[in-house]
């Protein structure tokens, strides 16, 4: 007998992207590849060679897709010009296109989106949900790319200075529904769209944890959910640990997100997350 038992052929949700259709019956692990000097946990991979070595390591650990970013979105981070962001991303994207996995570009700038899609990127992952002037048009003009729309209050530079508490689930669901509908009005198929509640982006600790069961509101709208809890400060708030010591908490949060319906996990710690999901599936959990 094969262990774990083989799943039957999927009839569940999928995510349509430029070159690949992702089967979301299996939770997909998105490995983070930051090409930045200042990301909150793993900044410092500011060369293409270092970023590619990291990308290849994540794939050996079991990542299903990669998310490449050239600008930090950590609290307090300043924006960089799109030209600088693209100079960081371009050589990594060119090299990674041969790796045989979907490639997501983490950007909110339409100039970077356009160049990445022209080069062959599969997914645009935008923390601003395509609100920058021209961003919606760039994605809508592409015939097949996937897109992840995230909710954020404010700007990375100031979003955690004084996060305000509201009916966070209703706010997040309402905002993301509007952004997804705007895309669909431009002709983008629902099957190309994934939603991210934006853990840590201008929200209190209480907000973030309310968004775990709150994922159901996004699922009820008919979109898959991407969860990004990896090493976040809310985990430090409940464990008392700094980012380098939040591995266990990150894996626990990832499994909690899956329990509440997330089908894509954006993580730094691919190896530990993949192992946890193997045990999860061996126990017969979805």
d(CA 210, CA 266): 19
Number of Cβ atoms within 10 Å of the Cβ of 6: 8
79: tokens are 């924006």
User: How, if at all, do strands 65-69 and 14-16 pair?
Assistant: unpaired
Number of Cβ atoms within 10 Å of the Cβ of 194: 28
Instruction: Report the chain's C-alpha Rg in angstroms.
Output: 18
DSSP H helical ranges for the chain: 48-61, 82-96, 110-119, 135-141, 168-185, 205-219, 233-239, 247-259, 270-282
DSSP letter (8 states) at residue 137: H
Q: What are phi and psi of 85, to 5 degrees?
A: -60, -45
Q: Do 66 and 30 contact (CB within 8 A), yes or no?
A: yes
Cis bond upstream, residue 4 (ω within 30) = yes
End-to-end Cα distance, the chain: 20
Q: Do 67 and 78 contact (CB within 8 A), yes or no?
A: no
Query: Does residue 232 have an active-site annotation?
Result: yes
Q: Which residue out of 88, 153, 203, 232 is catalytically annotated?
A: 232
Q: Which residues are catalytic?
A: 232, 266
């Amino acid at each position: 007998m094969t262990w774990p038992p083989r799943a039957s052929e999927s009839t569940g949700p999928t995510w349509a992207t430029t070159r690949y259709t992702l089967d979301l019956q299996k939770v997909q692990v998105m490995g983070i590849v930051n090409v930045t000097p200042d990301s909150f946990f793993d900044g410092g991979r500011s060369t293409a060679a270092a970023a590619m070595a990291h990308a290849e390591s994540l794939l050996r650990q079991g990542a299903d897709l990669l998310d490449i970013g050239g600008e930090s979105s950590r609290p307090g981070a300043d924006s960089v010009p799109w030209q600088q962001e693209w100079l960081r991303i371009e050589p990594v994207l060119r090299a990674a296109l041969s790796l045989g996995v979907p490639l997501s570009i983490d950007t909110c700038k339409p100039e970077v989106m356009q160049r990445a899609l022209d080069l062959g990127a599969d997914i645009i992952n935008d923390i601003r949900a395509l609100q920058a002037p021209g961003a919606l048009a760039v994605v809508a003009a592409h015939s097949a790319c996937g897109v992840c729309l995230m909710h954020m209050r404010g700007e990375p530079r100031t979003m955690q200075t004084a996060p305000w508490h509201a009916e966070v689930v209703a706010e997040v669901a309402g905002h993301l529904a509007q952004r997804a509908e705007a895309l669909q009005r431009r002709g983008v198929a629902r099957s190309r769209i994934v939603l991210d509640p934006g853990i840590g982006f201008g929200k209190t600790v209480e907000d973030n944890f309310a968004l775990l069961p709150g994922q159901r509101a996004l699922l009820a709208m008919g979109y898959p959910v991407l969860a990004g809890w990896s090493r976040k400060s809310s985990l430090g708030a409940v464990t008392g640990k700094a980012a380098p010591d939040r591995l266990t908490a990150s894996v626990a949060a990832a499994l909690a997100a899956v329990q509440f319906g997330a089908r894509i996990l954006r993580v730094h710690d691919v190896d530990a997350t993949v192992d946890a999901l193997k045990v999860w599936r061996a126990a017969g959990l979805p």
